[in-house]
Amino acid sequence: MSERKPLDSSAMLLMLVLCVLWGLQQVAVKAAAPGMSPVLQLGVRSLIAAALVFAMVSVRGERIAMGGMLLPGIGAGVLFAVEFLCAGAGLKFTTASHMSVFLYTAPIFTVLGLHLFLPAERINWRQWLGVAAAFAGVATAFSNGFATDGRDLGDMLLGDFLGVLGGLFWAATTVLIRCSALSEAPPATTLFYQLAGCGVLLTGIGAVNQDFARVDMTPLVWGSLFFQSVVVAFLSYLAWFWMLRRYLASRVTVFSFLTPLFGVAFGVLLLGDAIDARFAVGALLVLAGVVMVNFR
């Protein structure tokens, strides 16, 4: 394998585009929710994206790795599904801006998990400061929910909590991949297991909840599904894996921290999400903490 290199101008532009796309994801799900439940959206888009990954692998004359990767692959798919179940359910109660920030606590939980299970991933005192800053940010941003009254208070807090829980399961997926045979698997194999598991489980949950009976396939729903499945879950994820193989991972990861900022911005601009000072301060603390834990 060729040596990974620092980001050039083309790579920085591509990463900026990816962060914009990922920042739009929660907004797209929330905007299309009246026509299709968020959980069902995430299930259907994952099935479509998994089929595209499988087709791509088949066209290349390759195959999805099985053997010792099957069990961890199923586990990764289940954890990936629970992450998006939390995100989809949470979007019923909280704003897309809040979900973008709370879901992105995942890198904090990831470094803590790797610290426990991989000796080579022990974190230093600067990273512990980052963990503390991020959790202080979560507490500050979470307290924003107490500014609402009555039923809105309970809804906002529940949605925010589900966002943090989604971040925890996102981290658990990453830790499982790093600590299992999937760490040596081709990116397409890992992505297929995650998307297929998520698609089957969330679509099944949607069927049990009779979400299909309430689907209204408006142009907005069609557009959201296309964006989520083809653009985000298929093309952007493959581009991300390609970036990680070609460029220095630390430089690539730093750019990805722009994603929650774009998520908040799009939530405010496109959905009219309200942002107060406490949430803004908390979001910045979370972002600062995530940056700190990713530097050694």
Residue written as token pair 């790797």:
114
Q: What is the pLDDT of residue 1?
A: 44
pTM equals 0.83
Q: What is the pLDDT of residue 285?
A: 82
Tell me the per-residue pLDDT of 53-81, one tens digit each, with 9 for 90 and over: 999 999 988 888 777 788 888 999 999 99
Q: What is the pLDDT of residue 196?
A: 93
pLDDT per residue of the chain (296 residues) written in tens, 0 to 9: 456 666 677 878 888 898 899 889 889 999 999 999 999 999 999 999 999 999 999 998 888 877 778 888 899 999 999 999 999 899 888 888 888 888 888 877 887 887 888 776 677 777 788 778 878 877 777 676 555 555 576 778 888 899 999 989 988 988 888 888 887 788 888 889 999 999 999 999 989 988 888 889 999 999 999 999 999 999 998 888 787 677 765 566 666 777 888 888 888 888 887 777 877 888 788 878 777 776 65
Q: Compute the distance between CA of residue 160 and CA of residue 100 in angstroms, rounded to an integer.
A: 10
Tell me the per-residue pLDDT of 156-173, one tens digit each, with 9 for 90 and over: 888 889 999 998 998 898
Q: Compute the distance between CA of residue 264 and CA of residue 101 in angstroms, rounded to an integer.
A: 8
Q: Compute the distance between CA of residue 102 and CA of residue 160 in angstroms, rounded to an integer.
A: 7
Q: What is the pLDDT of residue 34?
A: 92
Q: Compute the distance between CA of residue 163 and CA of residue 284 in angstroms, rounded to an integer.
A: 17
